[in-house]
Amino acid sequence: MASADEQFDALVADAAEVAPREELREKLRRSEREARPLRAKLGIDPSRPDLHLGHTVVLRKLRQFQDFGHTAVLIVGDFTGLVGDPSGQSETRPMLTTEEMAENARTYFDQAGLVVDVERAEVHGNSEWLSKLSMPDVLRLTSTTNVAQMLERDDFQARYREGKPVSIVEFLYPLMQAMDSVAIRADVELGGTDQTFNLLMGREIQRAYGQEPQVVVTTPLLQGTDGQRKMSKSFDNSIGLTEPPDEMFGKLMSIPDELVVPYFQLLTDHDEEQLRAVAERVAAGGGHAAEAKRRLAREIVSTYHGEGAGRAAEERFDAVHKDHRLPTDIPSEVLHVSDPNRIWLPAAMVQLGLVGSNSEGRRLISQQGVRLNGELVTDPDRECTSIELTNAILQVGRRRFVRILPMLGP
């Protein structure tokens, strides 16, 4: 078992901020003396069920606490989800239904289990205590802070200055999240740097309720594959945990070289000496940087798809991109057509699940991102016949292939 000081060094090594830093060291030492594991809390937003690599940064930090023998406490925001976390939002978010939150939470745990040992974690829905608060309870909670403190939030400030509405109920969100810390007596709360305000509010409310304040540990926000903005599905720069191995490998190979070291640091298990070696290869550029990126892609794919999956994905990647061979496992999809002589290609791409809309299909064709039987499609309004498309290979982007089986009728 690692000592308290060894745990401290490991836990703060790649954290963005630990506040207050020395309080964490003291809590760990006390835990060691009293043989009482710390309670490390992570709140789960049920509005986003699909996890990507960016979400795993904080999940990996929670797993670190678990591996050191501490208790991971996962809080599903099944009550706060009715409000919606205002962090980073430019407008009030719509409320979710109970059914939507339950389904999202189920999907979340299925994916979070790839990182955290959910079986060993303590799991709560915050409706357990928040739904039971009486009006006097709410008044006591709201009396612990003031409007000026709430307006210290950057997102609230910006919306207030721009004349955009800030709902009173949104002021309650950080207070309710803080009550989660009171209810489960959190020693530590984890979150991304965009959660700093909410997490620090937890310290204030715990103090107001006579508890020892939690230590706040924030983790960096992972940059997306574009290397410009944080990873987000809405920015189309994310890598989902449940994406197929080939898709995951290809996206990792597309990241800018300057992201290779941060990805190694935040998404894999390597010591400082190994990270320095990776940094030297990336700095050398050319083939050295490309090999470092390949290693990263292999490791991450194998982490989420099993040992050997990374190497297999790499081989298929090379077959397509280096040897210019078609994949051997191209899926076949039936294309239902009403007029076998006039099949609009963008609409066919939508039906085959290759794009989300006709306009996206036309845009990808205009950007030279679509091939039919290996030939570049240049006309965004290309029409084909069923004879042309029978057993044809349609390629969208670098990694999506479909063998078309036209069928007359709806």
Confidence at residue 269, expressed as pLDDT on a 0 to 100 scale = 92
pTM of structure: 0.77
Q: Which CATH number fits domain 332-408: 3.30.70.20, 3.40.50.800, 2.40.50.140, 3.10.290.10?
A: 3.10.290.10
Confidence at residue 90, expressed as pLDDT on a 0 to 100 scale = 44
Q: Is 393 helix (H, G, I), strand (E, B) or coil?
A: strand
Q: What is the number of alpha carbons within 13 Å of residue 393 lying toward its C-beta?
A: 17
Question: Any idea what the Cα angle at residue 38 is, between residues 35 and 41, rounded to 5°?
Answer: 160
- Phi then psi for residue 309, to 5 deg, are -65, -35
User: Across residues 337-353, what is the average pLDDT?
Assistant: 90
pLDDT digits (tens, 9 = 90+) for 372-408: 887 889 899 999 888 888 888 898 987 788 989 877 7
Residue 79, pLDDT > 60, answer yes
Q: For the chain, what is the mean pLDDT?
A: 89
Asked if the peptide bond before residue 20 counts as cis, ω within 30 degrees of 0, the response is yes
- In which band, very low, low, confident or very high, does the pLDDT at 169 lie, cut at 50, 70 and 90? confident
pLDDT digits (tens, 9 = 90+) for 126-144: 999 999 999 999 999 999 9
Residue 342 CB: number of other CB atoms within 10 A? Answer: 11
User: Across residues 326-334, what is the average pLDDT?
Assistant: 79
Give the span between the Cα atoms of 242 and 169, in whole angstroms.
Answer: 34
Confidence at residue 409, expressed as pLDDT on a 0 to 100 scale = 63
Confidence at residue 18, expressed as pLDDT on a 0 to 100 scale = 97
- Phi then psi for residue 301, to 5 deg, are -60, -45
Confidence at residue 93, expressed as pLDDT on a 0 to 100 scale = 52
Q: Which CATH number fits domain 243-321: 1.10.240.10, 1.10.3210.10, 3.40.50.2300, 3.40.50.1000?
A: 1.10.240.10
Question: Among 394, 402, 389, 390, which residue's Cα sits nearest to residue 377?
Answer: 394
Residue 60 tokens read as 């990996």
- Residues 4-219, CATH architecture: 3-Layer(aba) Sandwich (3.40)
Helix axis angle, 21-34 to 4-12, nearest 10°: 150
With b for 16 or more beta-carbon neighbours within 10 A and e for fewer, the 128-164 pattern comes to: ebbeeeeeeeeeebeeebeeeebeebebbeebeeeee
Residue 406 tokens read as 């036209």
Confidence at residue 312, expressed as pLDDT on a 0 to 100 scale = 92
Domain ranges of the chain: 4-219, 243-321, 332-408
CB 225, CB 300: distance < 8 Å: no
Sign of CA dihedral 205, 209, 213, 217: negative
Distances in Å between the Cα of 399 and the Cα atoms of 58, 246, 256, 378, 407 are 29, 7, 18, 19, 25
